[in-house]
């Protein structure tokens, strides 16, 4: 996959996340994918990980059902081979409480064969939790 294809894949992934498009997210991930929101599960319910397509999509569905995203912007996008580091910003609304905040996140993503195989997401779990 060349850089332009990789970047297009990433942009499609983030568009699907912001829109809560679970079908498009399902298409984005490989069967053996891993997704982790990095943090201490003892201190934040958001700190979670999933392995395998079904679990990853389940975790993303839970996140999408809990938090709505808008005002999305890429701040940094670095691509090296099959790996990318993305720093992004969005306004996040907690669906339950109605509270909203703008925050930055950092994702480290690996893609193989046009599908996402790994996402490690770093966010302010205390702010979101």
pTM, two decimal places = 0.92
pLDDT tens string 28-75:
999 999 999 998 887 777 889 999 999 999 999 999 999 999 999 999
**Domain spans of the chain, in order of start:** 3-128
Query: When comparing pLDDT for 44 and 23, which is higher?
Result: 23
pLDDT number for residue 112: 95
Q: 10 Å Cβ neighbour count for 96? A: 9
The class level of CATH for 3-128 reads alpha beta
| Number of C-beta neighbours around residue 81 at 10 A | 10
Residues 67-105 pLDDT 10s: 999 999 999 999 999 999 999 999 999 999 999 999 999
CA-CA distance, 116 to 118, in Å (whole number)? 6
């Amino acid at each position: 996959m060349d850089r332009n294809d990789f970047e297009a894949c990433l942009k499609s992934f983030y568009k699907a996340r912001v829109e809560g498009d679970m079908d498009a997210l399902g298409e984005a991930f490989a069967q053996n994918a891993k997704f982790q929101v990095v943090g201490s599960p003892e201190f934040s319910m958001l700190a979670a990980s999933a392995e395998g397509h079904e679990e990853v999509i389940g975790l993303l569905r839970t996140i999408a059902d809990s938090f709505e995203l808008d005002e999305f912007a890429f701040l940094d996008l670095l691509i090296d081979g099959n790996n990318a580091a993305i720093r992004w910003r969005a306004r996040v609304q907690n669906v339950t409480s109605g509270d909203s905040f703008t925050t930055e996140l950092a994702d480290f993503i690996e893609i193989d064969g046009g599908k996402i195989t790994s996402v490690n997401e770093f966010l302010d779990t205390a702010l979101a939790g």
